[in-house]
Amino acid sequence: MASSHTVLMRLVASAYSVAQKAGTIIRRVLAEGDLGIVEKTCPTDLQTKADRLAQMSVCSSLARKFPKLTIIGEEDLPSEEVDQELIEDGQWEEILKQPCPSQYSAIKEEDLVVWVDPLDGTKEYTEGLLDNVTVLIGIAYEGRAIAGVINQPYYNYQAGPDAVLGRTIWGVLGLGAFGFQLKEAPAGKHIITTTRSHGSKLVMDCVAAMNPDDVLRVGGAGNKIIQLIEGKASAYVFASPGCKKWDTCAPEVILHAVGGKLTDIHGNALQYNKEVKHMNSAGVLATLRNHNYYASRVPESVKSALVP
């Protein structure tokens, strides 16, 4: 009986299945060949048919099951009747076998805010850089990110035509993060992951100040956090106001659940209550280890340019 499970764990179990469905939609749109690309604010800020369909699927599926949730999605879409084939009713039973952390066991549906990026790394998706693409569903309570799901639709896509595509990573604070193998970046190396398509002098100045041994320029906030937890990078540095709450909510949970840290460039925690502005106007700094080292190297000129 679903009623024997807490609201939070039922929501996470549903979000897992919903994120997988969104991943399937993203793969299908690309395979069909008509991406339906629209420029939103500039040539690097794109929306595709996959963004639109995946958001309709995620938001409608969750709203149908949890009608009192606040759901905030990236794409500004007209409200219309959603095709039944976009609805995902399932839930990942393995999650329901896990205990809900006691501090969240009495949470009510109306207390939760869900931040949705239906396709993180849209520009890279249009360019065929498919390992950059993720679906992000973050869950916040009292302004704090507490649970999250990341689906990578094209995980394993370079392993050949018979490869099984996709994986789903999920986590809850106080319980842990699952669906990947935690690995640390090489000790003593400063490998910085940063934006590929939203660079600026501020971003480059901040990255340079980290004294990096290597700089990885890739798409997608979800993808960058996965680089941290899989040992490919030691810090994610984005000294720019271009990142939004739906980019960071789910990835932050996964990182925090394994002992990492995500803050703004000043070291402040991000807030995720429903009234908060969507822009992470003071940038993003994320690490699996040694957060203080990277925070201490952010130049004053960068801090003064990025106001929380």
Positions marked active-site: 51, 122
d(CA 228, CA 151): 16
- Which tokens belong to 62? 């969750």
Q: Comparing C-alpha atoms, which of 18, 5, 302 is closest to residue 150?
A: 18
Is 117 known to sit in a ligand binding site? yes
Is 247 known to sit in a ligand binding site? yes
Under 8 Å between Cβ of 95 and 170: yes
d(CA 152, CA 247): 14
Q: What are phi and psi of 198, to 5 degrees?
A: -125, 45
Is 228 known to sit in a ligand binding site? no
CA distances to 44, 49, 151, 260 from 199, rounded to whole Å, are 11, 25, 25, 24
- Which tokens belong to 50? 């996959």
d(CA 173, CA 166): 24
Indicate the annotated binding residues: 74, 117, 119-120, 247
Binding-site members for Mg(2+) are 74, 117, 119-120, 247
